[in-house]
Structure 1
């Protein structure tokens, strides 16, 4: 199987995206993390304000384009909760000829809620998500489909 040059790790908060992204990083991918970038800018609560999200995505996509131009393999760790968010990165990459592959972590609702309940706010991969917000995230999540482009579904829990 050929290696995906750009992986968009997709799933709700608590699905295991950051864990998967770090595994890919250990396999030679460059990791671009929304939460890490926001955390480094001093943002400890989610969701971040829309203007902050736009700034973080601008930094990530700028770095992504630079890395792709250098021929590097990249994993982008953010929720990609909507088709529009995934399409945004596809559009950014289109002029390069690189087609990103969405790796969707499909994890049971009860597992996600239990993981989020254990969070303590100790770092960018441990941001607190109150139960009511977690429920809204789960209910508002738009599952990726093959009609969008390449998708790998990874089940777990």
Structure 2
């Protein structure tokens, strides 16, 4: 099913049955946490690897060296993928508050979700570099207390953007326009189509 959110046409899977799994696609500062929290207000279970990393290992770059993040994150992601399966099999809608920077990463998590019987929806949060850096530089001040405010420099953001691959036309996705209601309405419409 095609939707228009903002100025772009987008597509959501036509097989909406069972619970939804929303996978965020975006760089740090793009609004993933804000949107995922809005979805929890509508009953979604929120899974956030960054929060689990903070709980287990402390502050990024302070309590553990920056270079070991991928090694420490791997078991966290494995456990979150198991929790995702359990929540979806129990019939709960889930949002995963994570960036999913590459098509391979998104395909892996989409396979987990669909394998658990969910309709998977990618939500792409496209934000300009200037806006991302304004948001990140503001939240850097909170990094020691907020697991969603990992401290990094503008050069890090530039490096991240170079590694980030936005969803292409072969990856159906919603393009987020900054209004959580637009995502909720698209999901509600898709759920109604699935019942029809």
Measured in 1, the distance between the counterparts of 2:57 and 2:43 equals: 28
| Alignment RMSD (CA, Å) | 2.0
User: Is the Cα contact below 8 Å between 2:21 and 2:113 reproduced in 1?
Assistant: no
- Return structure 1 stretches of 4+ with deviation > 3 angstroms: 1-4
User: Is the Cα contact below 8 Å between 2:27 and 2:161 reproduced in 1?
Assistant: yes
Matched length: 155
The counterpart of 2:107, out of the listed 74, 80, 87, is 87
Residue equivalent to 2:173: 151
Q: Describe the shift of the 1:47–1:117 C-alpha distance in structure 2 as closer, same or farther (beyond 3 A).
A: farther
Residue equivalent to 2:182: none
Residue equivalent to 1:32: 47
Q: Which runs of 5+ in 1 are unaligned?
A: none
Residue equivalent to 1:96: 116
Q: Which runs of 5+ in 2 are unaligned?
A: 4-15, 61-65, 179-196
Q: CA deviation at 1:48?
A: 5.2
Aligned counterparts, 1:133-152, within 5 A: 133-148=156-171, 150-152=172-174
User: Is the Cα contact below 8 Å between 2:54 and 2:147 reproduced in 1?
Assistant: yes
TM-score by length of structure 1 reads 0.89
User: Is the Cα contact below 8 Å between 1:107 and 1:155 reproduced in 2?
Assistant: no
Q: CA deviation at 1:97?
A: 3.5
SS of match in other structure, 1:118: helix
Q: Deviations over 1:48-96 (max 9, x none)?
A: 5322221111111100000011000000000111111111101222323
Q: Describe the shift of the 1:68–1:124 C-alpha distance in structure 2 as closer, same or farther (beyond 3 A).
A: same
**Structure whose alpha-carbon radius of gyration is higher:** 2
